Amino acid sequence: MARSHSHLVLIPSYNTGPKVVETARLALAVWQPVWVVVDGSTDGTAETLQALAANTPELRVFVLPHNRGKGAAVLHGLQQADAAGYTHVLTMDADGQHPAAMIPEFMSVSQKNPLAAVLGKPVFDASAPALRVNGRKVSNWWANLETLGAGIGDSLFGFRVYPVRPLRRIMERSPWMRRFDFDPEVAVRLCWLGVKPVNLDSPVRYFSAAEGGVSHFRYLRDNTLLTWMHIRLMCGFVLRLPLLLWRKFAAGG
């Protein structure tokens, strides 16, 4: 398999157990290179991944000493990717929910639309908790209000291809977007920056605990974080409204 010199797979991971190793292997089977950022995990996966990387040159593992959140792990990967000359990263969850088989398709769309962000739009099956499926509709509604309908298909789904430098620029200018607020806030702020979203349907599977599934979602904590995030974004939206309106009318929308 040819090794890409512009697009890499970036997997942030925190205490996801054997699933992260499985996810990395599945990603390597269809795309190279693959990087994993271990975000202060205490489950032994850092050592397992490092052992795998020692015999797999297409895999690179970064180990952060303390858990700082998904967004912080992604930012670390972005900084390293930019320094190494990569222009785009595909982010995917370490818990096996995202379809590794679709990585080449997402990368191909990104290569044809290098200025865009390629956003996965989840197609749920029977394994998806109704609370998660219905709850995200609220965040999606707010995200499209905050961008004047820029076309964010799903604000929370983390299977995406980002252009490295615009995303890095956004994150380094703000103390936010470091935890569960990462996916929805960067989608909105990239639209504000003029990075257009391209949506692709993508199946998603929720694994049960018996299947090795791991979830760090906490309903009250994370929904409080999202509520505070949308308050911030609405304030930013009001300030940017003249520019967003001008862009919308200039584009004929």
Domain ranges, ordered by start, for the chain: 7-250
Percent of the chain with pLDDT over 70: 92
pLDDT tens-digit map of 184-216? 999 999 999 999 999 999 999 876 666 555 665
| Higher pLDDT among residues 246 and 114, named by residue | 114
Q: What is the rounded average pLDDT of the residues 122-142?
A: 81
Q: Which parts of the chain are beta strand (E)?
A: 7-13, 34-39, 59-64, 88-91, 117-124, 160-163, 197-204
pLDDT at position 70 over 60: yes
Residue 164 has pLDDT above 90, yes or no: yes
Summarize pLDDT for 210-236 with one digit per residue, the tens.
655 566 555 566 668 788 899 999 999
What is the structure's pLDDT at 213?
A: 56
Mean pLDDT score of the chain, rounded to an integer? 91
The pTM of this model reads 0.90
- Cα(136)–Cα(173) distance, rounded to whole angstroms? 26
CATH class of 7-250: alpha beta
Model confidence band, residue 135 (pLDDT cutoffs 50, 70, 90) = confident
pLDDT for res 205: 83
Which pLDDT belongs to residue 128?
A: 75
